[in-house]
Every structure is written in C-alpha cells, then in structure tokens.
Amino acid sequence: MPLKKIIAMTMVRNDRFLSKWVEHYGRELGLSNLRIFFDGEDQKVPPFCAGAVTQVLPKMQGDVVATDRQRARFMSEQAAALMDHEGADMVIATDADEFLVVDPDIGLGLAEFLSGQPRHPCYSGLGVDVLQHLPSEGAADFSRPFLSQRHRGWLYSRYTKPSVITRRLKWGGGYHRVKGVNFHIVPGLYLFHFGGVDQESLREISADASRVDNGWTRHQLKRQRALRRISRVKAIDWERGVRIARTLQTFCRPIFALNKPSTYGLRIVARIPERFKYTV
C-alpha cells in the first residue's frame, strides 16, 4: 500500500517541548514533512529543526483565548495551502506538547497506519493527559522518553482532538474541534498530551512574565490543580479505561458543542502499558 503524503504542523513560542515534537514527527513522517511556525520575531530557529520547513512570524497579539483563535485560523489556512499546492493528503496540527501515537501492538508507524484508514474528513486519537503522579514520581528528565518516567494517563476528552484532517476544514481554538464536522476517534490511535508531565515546569511557566501578560496564569494554575486532583484518583486497567472512555466520548456531547467529545466530568485514569514506554 503506497503511503499518503502527510504533513505535521505546529506553532510555538519558547516551547521546551519542541525538540521532542521534531524528534517524534520527524521519525514518523520525515523531517521534510514538518512545518514549524515561530510566534514572534524575537525567536531563533534551533539547530535541531534542520531539515524541517520553518517560518518566523510577527508575534500574535492578544490574550491566550484570542491568540488561540488566531492560531487556529492561521493553521487552517496553512493546511488548506498544503493540500492545494503541495499535494498533502493529510495534515496534522498539534501543540508542541501533543504526540499522536499508534498502539505498538498494531505494529505500524504513524504514516502507514493513517494511510490505511477509511476515508473520513478528520481523525482523532483518544486523548491521554499524562500527568506527574506526585506521590510516586519525581521531576521529569526531558532528555529521556516521558513514558519511561510516567505511568498513568487521564483519558480526558479535552485532548481527543481532530488533529488530522483530509480536506479543507477550519479548526476551532486549540484544535479541539473542526467546524461543521463531527470527530472520529480512530481505534488504536492516541493523542498523548504532556503539558502537565512535570509540576516544576508548570510553576516556571506560571512565573514567566510574558505568559502572565498574555493571561496564562489562570490556565497554568488550573493545570496544577488538575495534577494534584488526578494524583488522588486510582488508576484502572488500560484496556478497560480505553473502552469506557472511547464509548463515552463517541456518544456523549456537551450541549454547547455537539461536535466535541465529552465524559460529563467522569475522571478515568488508567495505567499506561509498558509497550508505550519508549514511544515518546
């Protein structure tokens, strides 16, 4: 089966996760199929981005909500251009701390796996928010695979995002939905989110003056509360948790957004299997 042309994009501003993003998607798709947009001309393109297509842009203005919407519009336009002018069959858009991973038991890389999927306007991986378990896990070492250091995942509908599109579509803020199209959770595909992988990193971000000015304080404090709260939730078996979460998110919808998944507040935390240990 011939592989489809799949391009992955992200937009960053002083993001410490970017090197892992480049490593992961470069391995899965090839460095030439990565597009990295730097939000602010005060930034320099790091050497590890060599081989990827990069662009430094004027900094987006506004608070975190406004810039999220601007970013979604910009990335939707870029995805359309990639399909129209570069022959992309699929475009992936994620934040730099989000990684699409195929279940290792399937035995396929991301490009081969997505190339074999039935035609659909967009694809979602089941969202897994990987948070530091405060009672038993220490600070994260960013030079090592995260899933060799973190062993619990919150199967959280907020990160079940339509990250992969196959035609011109418009993402909503944060890529949490595509406008006018339902999401489709692909069995065996996961979106691992590592924004709360390390408590100390969250504290550093909360103290960053530029982020405070853009309204990030509330968001980061919310992440820290989630980390403490989820640390108290008992983890269940992965397969059971995935089955419950996928069923709920497929059929449950918040009233205010009928094309977004929901678990209606149920916190499902599962033990991440050893087979994922070196995937991210």
Q: Domain limits of the chain?
A: 6-276
Per-residue pLDDT band for 263 (boundaries 50, 70, 90) equals confident
Q: pLDDT value at position 209?
A: 55
Phi/psi at 95 (5° precision): -70, 165
pTM, 2 dp: 0.93
Q: How far apart are CA 120 and CA 91, in angstroms?
A: 13
- Joined together, the tokens standing for residue 157 give 């509908």
The Cα-based distances of 204 to 87, 101, 137, 164, 221 in angstroms read: 41, 28, 18, 31, 11
Q: pLDDT value at position 63?
A: 77
Q: pLDDT value at position 97?
A: 96
State yes or no: pLDDT of 29 exceeds 60: yes
State yes or no: pLDDT of 168 exceeds 70: yes
Average predicted confidence (pLDDT) for the chain: 91
* Of 144, 135, 155, residue with least CA distance to 277: 144
Question: Do strands 34-39 and 53-57 pair parallel, antiparallel, or not at all (unpaired)?
Answer: parallel
Q: pLDDT value at position 47?
A: 97
Question: Which of 5-9, 173-177, 195-199 tops mean pLDDT?
Answer: 5-9
Per-residue pLDDT band for 251 (boundaries 50, 70, 90) equals confident
Using one digit for the tens of pLDDT, what is the confidence trace for 2-17? 899 999 999 999 899 9
Question: Which of 58-62, 94-98, 201-205, 209-213 tops mean pLDDT?
Answer: 94-98
